Amino acid sequence: MGQPWDVWIYRGLALLLIGCPCALVISVPAAIASALSTGARRGLLMKGGAVIEAAATVNHVAFDKTGTLTHGRPVVTALQGPAGRAWFPEDQAELLATAAAVETGSSHPLALAILNRAAEEGVLALPSDGGRAIPGKGVTALVAGHETYVASPPQAVAAGVMSDADLTQARAPESEGNTVVAVYRPGRFLGLIAMRDEPRADAADAMRQLRAMGITPVILTGDNPRTAAAIAGALGMDFRAEMLPADKLAAIRAMLDGGVMMVGDGINDAPALKQASVGAAMGSGTDVALETADAAILRDRVEDVPALIRLARATMANIRQNITIALGLKAVFLVTSVLGITGLWLAILADTGATVLVTLNALRLLRHDPTRHDSASPASHGTETATA
């Protein structure tokens, strides 16, 4: 267009430099790497950047009860024989010895409670064989040639060994937050074992934090509704009880739209952990849960759940800042180079400068303390959720 060659070759070179997307390319991975490292240092293990993205936008968090909201160290509070029958110390020893036999090899918290009680009373577990878990229901093993079960009372009722009177007897401790299991084999009901598991000290505070962040927490448990209500009431949250692994899965699917995080620890939680937008396993959880989950809460604190979401939200905000810096600077220098206001040297500085700025901004995440929540304003969280 009749313009001088030397001016436009020079501006063209500046434009080529401006066109280098170095800062943009580094903006996302630098933030993700910083966040993963910050998380890992605080015991929040996330298996990749996609987890951060998903965690930043969850609206629901579903918690398993046993081992997640509670310590997962239940203690046996009562042993009961069949209703309306004489109950001798030998019967109690047989109940414990049989239950311990079935639970040998089980990693479920209830199993440890029973094994501990047996050890305390000096009761030896009977020899057993072929133990296996029936997820969400109980465990079974061969004891003295009989297929013997330690399972939730409804299982014993379904097997036809538990009477209505026995079921009523199981209800009372349940309303006080105990979990009651029945010990039986086909044709014979040996008795009930009541166990109580205390909620983790930080659980109530964690729920308050989640609600302040605009997230709805809910309990999904395989335990009975009375025990679940006792725990849920203490934490001020909703609950759904008597859920088999498939029910937990369905409940998670129903919440998927708004983004849902599932926090669990057991084999029974694995399908739900896999299905959820983000599955987080408690560090003390079973191998299956830890392997299936997208994230692990290594320090076993419920408060680390809101912390993980806070870290994810801070990371996404950081990424948005980075993209704005990277593209914004380029846009400004694109115009000024074409108009000849800025030259090649400034273009180089802008290019390198943007990369440095973006990297420094991402490194700020290394200092981020996701456990601090008093300074976090609910308003900024709201916009983050909306834009993402």
Decide which of ligand ADP, Mg ion, none touches 222; Cβ closer than 5 to 8 Å per partner kind. Answer: ligand ADP
Rounded least distance, CB 216 to ligand ADP, Å? 19
Which residues contact Mg ion by CB under 5 A? Answer: 64, 66-67, 265-266
Restricting to residues 267-286, which ones interact with ligand ADP according to CB under 6 A? Answer: 268
Compare residues 286 and 322 and give the one whose CB is closer to Mg ion: 286
**CA–CA dist 197, 136 (Å, integer):** 17
Q: Can you name the residues that pair with 142 across neighbouring β-strands?
A: 129, 147
**CA–CA dist 77, 15 (Å, integer):** 76
**CA–CA dist 22, 192 (Å, integer):** 67
Element (H, E) at 370: none
The answer to the question of residue 151 lying near ligand ADP (CB under 6 A) is yes
Can you read off the two tokens belonging to residue 310?
A: 């806070």
**CA–CA dist 207, 303 (Å, integer):** 8
Residue of 179, 275, 292, 315 that binds ligand ADP (CB under 6 A): 179
Number of H helices, E strands in the chain: 15, 13
Distances (CA, A) of 119 to 28, 123, 130, 257: 54, 6, 22, 48
Compare residues 181 and 230 and give the one whose CB is closer to ligand ADP: 181
Q: How many residues bind ligand ADP (CB under 6 A)?
A: 23
Compare residues 191 and 266 and give the one whose CB is closer to Mg ion: 266
Compare residues 269 and 303 and give the one whose CB is closer to Mg ion: 269
Q: Is the dihedral of CA 258, 264, 268, 270 positive or negative?
A: positive
Q: Which amino acid belongs to residue 219?
A: I
Stretch binding ligand ADP (CB under 6 A), from 208-216, 219-227, 231-239, 378-386: 219-227
Rounded least distance, CB 122 to ligand ADP, Å? 21
Compare residues 259 and 266 and give the one whose CB is closer to Mg ion: 266
Q: Active site includes 238?
A: no
DSSP secondary structure letter of residue 8: H
Residue of 11, 42, 65, 368 that binds ligand ADP (CB under 6 A): 65
Rounded least distance, CB 106 to ligand ADP, Å? 4
Decide which of ligand ADP, Mg ion, none touches 126; Cβ closer than 5 to 8 Å per partner kind. Answer: none
The answer to the question of residue 222 lying near ligand ADP (CB under 6 A) is yes
Residue of 34, 46, 58, 64 that binds ligand ADP (CB under 6 A): 64
Decide which of ligand ADP, Mg ion, none touches 108; Cβ closer than 5 to 8 Å per partner kind. Answer: ligand ADP
Q: Can you name the residues that pair with 183 across neighbouring β-strands?
A: 150, 191
Rounded least distance, CB 30 to ligand ADP, Å? 39
**CA–CA dist 17, 31 (Å, integer):** 24
Q: How far is CA 187 from the centre of its chain?
A: 40
Compare residues 107 and 163 and give the one whose CB is closer to Mg ion: 107
Can you read off the two tokens belonging to residue 164?
A: 């209505």
**CA–CA dist 73, 235 (Å, integer):** 18
Compare residues 152 and 322 and give the one whose CB is closer to ligand ADP: 152
The active-site residue, picked from 64, 223, 269, 351, is 64
Decide which of ligand ADP, Mg ion, none touches 226; Cβ closer than 5 to 8 Å per partner kind. Answer: none
How buried is 164 (Cβ within 10 angstroms: 0-12 exposed, 13-18 middle, 19+ buried)? exposed
Measured from the Cβ of residue 339, the count of other Cβ atoms closer than 10 Å reads 9
Decide which of ligand ADP, Mg ion, none touches 285; Cβ closer than 5 to 8 Å per partner kind. Answer: none
Positions in the binding site for ligand ADP (CB under 6 A): 64-67, 103, 106, 108, 110-111, 136-139, 150-152, 179, 181, 221-223, 266, 268
Active-site positions read: 64
